[in-house]
């Protein structure tokens, strides 16, 4: 895996989502990021074979996410 | 008898109501008077519905007088976590951000079911912002405190329901649990709390945090009272397609409610019960304090003495299921909050926005992998639960932390929570009090196979027949109400 600046990466990912924490907050998130990646990498180390995701698509459900409500802003 | 009722269990209150020793109105007034005295210190409520509650209690009394009896919850006052919609007013999720118009425009199905069973809604209880933040004194909401020591936190996120039951402000209430938010405050406040099997209780009308990890369930004074509420809460709802009908639970529920009643033999469940002890993953995992471990060993001794067979088990993929819970729920929360985080970042509490932002750092592939690990975990843990009937751990490795305490780093603090793997798996898990460490309560977690909620609750009720930890009361709460 290549090297990268965690804070810059975090800032870029969040900015691409329109989320803009302060510089201090980005630095904090940058410090947390390596631990987050370690957790993610540990998941890829599990021998899951061909396991499908637990949250599987079920066409008969008639899912209507709006029924649990939203923030009222289209989220 | 009025004045002595606040700490009784639901079945005891139900008997007093039917014996004419108290009315629902008197009971409601007693809990309200206790809240007048204690809530300013404890921060249990976000909103109280005093007039509506008294009116509902009067109707409950009239029905009982006319011979209409809706069951054990008839006339019983309850608290409801303020991420769950009620008809009395807006849900806040303890946030400045949530649109006051959010919600189904009435009761969430779980609240409607409790009302149909005759329960009285006293008010909405405090939480962590959107069930994920931390106590935040910069926002205009109460900071919930632990009645065993108000310098300590209640745990969360069902904070007010937990400390309200402990302090005798209501005998039971509703919480939600995405990584431990029922079981954690149950453990920290010395009460009982049950996270049902995923899909047993509808989540419609409840502000989502992690869609595939969220559970709604009861906190109460005992496992038996949790069963009384669960019996009413369980069942499918068309607005929540993840819900299922679970006839096995329905067969067991009545028996659980009677488990330690007159003539009952609740201890029989322990004879020959195969108890898996997940010691290596929890007590020996480096995040469990010695005092908590001692309480856990003592609890195991009680169960063994009553005939349970203890088996040390290696819990498969414990750490990975722990990670899959937090990574997955962060990502799901980010999806729900992204637009608002972009528009109103500073209106969120600091811990809330920083935690949800972590979900924006989890890629789509990472999220899918977390869901695949959950699938693998389901297979491996199902095999484990063919070898043992239940799995026991401490609920957490520590007692309630003091406000501002940061003795451990973030990762270690999360590791000391032994609840999240059961959210990843969707399995039923109950926390019951198992003693004290330094004057603060500790919790015993009892988990079982999918839809074996009845067995989990029976084991908890049997343990509570053999111990009195769940009957201990915080000194602050027992001073007479003037």
- The CA distance from B27 to B414, in Å, is 39
> For the segment B420-460, what is each residue's pLDDT rounded down to a tens digit?
999 999 999 999 999 999 999 999 999 999 999 999 999 99
Those residues whose C-beta lies under 8 Å from the C-beta of residue B475, and which sit 6 or more positions away, are none
Banded model confidence at residue A66, pLDDT cuts 50, 70, 90: very low
Q: Are residues B189 and B441 in contact, defined by beta-carbon separation less than 8 angstroms?
A: yes
Whether B412 shows a pLDDT value over 90: the answer reads no
Residues in chain A whose Cβ is within 8 Å of chain B: 10, 13-14, 17-21, 25, 28-29, 32-33, 35-36, 39-40, 42-44, 46-49, 51-55, 58, 61-64, 67-75
The two tokens of residue B265 are 């033999």
Residue extents of the structural domains in chain A: 1-43
Query: Which helix (H) or strand (E) covers residue A13, if one does?
Result: helix A6-16
Give the per-residue pLDDT at B1: 53
Are the CB atoms for B168 and B412 separated by under 8 Å?
no
Contact B205, B108 (CB under 8 A): yes
Tokens representing B340 are: 């608002």
Query: Are B239 and A54 inside 8 Å of each other by CB?
Result: no
Return d(Cα B420, Cα B213) in angstroms, integer: 9
* Annotated catalytic residue B181: yes
Return the residue of A nearest to B203 by Cα: A68
pTM value surpassing 0.80: yes
- From residue A20, give the alpha-carbon distance in Å to each of A17, B126, B163, B357: 9, 28, 36, 10
Domain range list for chain B = 2-478
Q: Out of B158, B176, B181, B204, which one is annotated catalytic?
A: B181
CA separation for the pair B70, B63 (Å, rounded): 9
CATH of B2-478, one of 3.40.50.2300, 2.60.40.1180, 3.40.605.10, 3.90.1300.10: 3.90.1300.10
Closest A-chain CA to B239: A67
Euclidean distance between CA atoms A14 and B75, whole angstroms = 50
Please say if B424 is a catalytic residue: no
CA distance B210 to B228: 27
Range with the poorest average pLDDT among A36-40, A50-54, B383-387: A50-54
- CA atoms lying within 13 Å on the CB side of residue B152: 18
pLDDT at B245 over 90: no
**pLDDT by residue (tens digit) across B125-135?**
999 999 998 88
Does residue B124 carry a catalytic annotation?
Answer: no
Is pLDDT above 70 for B250?
no
């Amino acid at each position: 895996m290549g090297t990268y600046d965690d804070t810059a990466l975090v800032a870029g990912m969040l900015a691409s989502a329109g989320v803009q924490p302060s510089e201090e907050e980005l630095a904090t998130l940058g410090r947390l990021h390596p631990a987050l990646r370690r957790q993610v990498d540990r998941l890829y180390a599990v021998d899951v074979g061909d396991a499908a995701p637990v949250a599987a698509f079920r066409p008969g459900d008639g899912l209507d996410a709006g029924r649990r409500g939203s923030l009222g802003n289209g989220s | 008898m009025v004045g002595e009722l606040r700490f009784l269990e639901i079945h005891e209150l139900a008997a007093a109501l039917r014996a004419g020793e108290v009315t629902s109105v008197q009971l409601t007034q007693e809990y309200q008077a206790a809240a007048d005295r204690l809530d300013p210190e404890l921060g249990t409520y976000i909103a109280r519905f005093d007039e509506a509650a008294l009116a509902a209690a009067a109707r409950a009394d009239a029905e009982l007088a006319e011979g209409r009896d809706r069951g054990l919850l008839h006339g019983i006052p309850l608290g409801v976590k303020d991420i769950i919609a009620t008809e009395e007013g807006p849900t806040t999720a303890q946030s400045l951000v949530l649109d006051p118009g959010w919600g189904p425009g009435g009761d969430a199905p779980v609240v409607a079911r409790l009302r149909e069973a005759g329960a009285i809604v006293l008010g909405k209880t405090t939480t962590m912002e959107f069930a994920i933040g931390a106590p935040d004194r910069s926002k205009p909401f109460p900071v919930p405190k632990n009645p065993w020591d108000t310098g300590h936190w209640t745990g969360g996120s069902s904070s007010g329901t937990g400390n309200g039951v402990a302090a005798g402000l209501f005998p039971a209430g509703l919480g939600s649990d995405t990584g431990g938010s029922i079981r954690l405050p149950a453990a920290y406040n010395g009460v009982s709390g049950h996270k049902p099997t995923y899909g047993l209780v509808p989540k419609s009308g409840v502000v989502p945090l992690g869609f595939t990890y969220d559970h709604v369930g009861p906190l109460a004074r005992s496992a038996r009272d949790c069963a009384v509420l669960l019996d009413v809460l369980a069942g499918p709802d068309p607005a929540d397609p993840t819900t299922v009908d679970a006839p096995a639970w329905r067969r067991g529920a009545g028996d659980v409610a009677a488990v330690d009643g007159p003539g009952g033999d609740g201890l029989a469940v322990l004879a020959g019960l195969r108890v898996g002890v997940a010691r290596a993953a929890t007590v020996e995992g480096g995040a469990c304090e010695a005092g908590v471990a001692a309480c856990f060993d003592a609890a195991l001794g009680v169960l063994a003495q009553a005939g349970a067979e203890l088996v040390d088990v290696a819990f498969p993929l414990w750490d990975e299921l722990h990670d899959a819970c937090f990574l997955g729920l962060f990502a799901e929360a980010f999806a729900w909050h992204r637009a608002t985080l972009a528009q109103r970042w500073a209106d969120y509490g600091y811990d809330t926005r920083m935690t949800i932002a972590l979900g924006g750092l989890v890629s789509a592939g990472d999220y899918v992998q977390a869901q695949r690990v959950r699938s693998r975990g389901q297979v491996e843990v199902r095999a484990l639960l063919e070898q043992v009937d239940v799995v026991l751990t401490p609920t957490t490795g520590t007692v309630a932390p003091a406000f501002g305490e940061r003795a451990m780093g973030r990762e270690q603090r999360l590791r000391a929570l032994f609840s999240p793997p059961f959210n990843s798996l969707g399995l039923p898990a109950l926390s019951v009090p198992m003693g004290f460490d330094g004057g603060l309560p500790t919790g015993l977690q009892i988990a079982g196979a999918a839809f074996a909620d009845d067995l989990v609750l029976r084991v908890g009720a049997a343990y509570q027949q053999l111990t009195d930890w769940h009957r201990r009361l915080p000194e602050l709460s027992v001073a007479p109400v003037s």
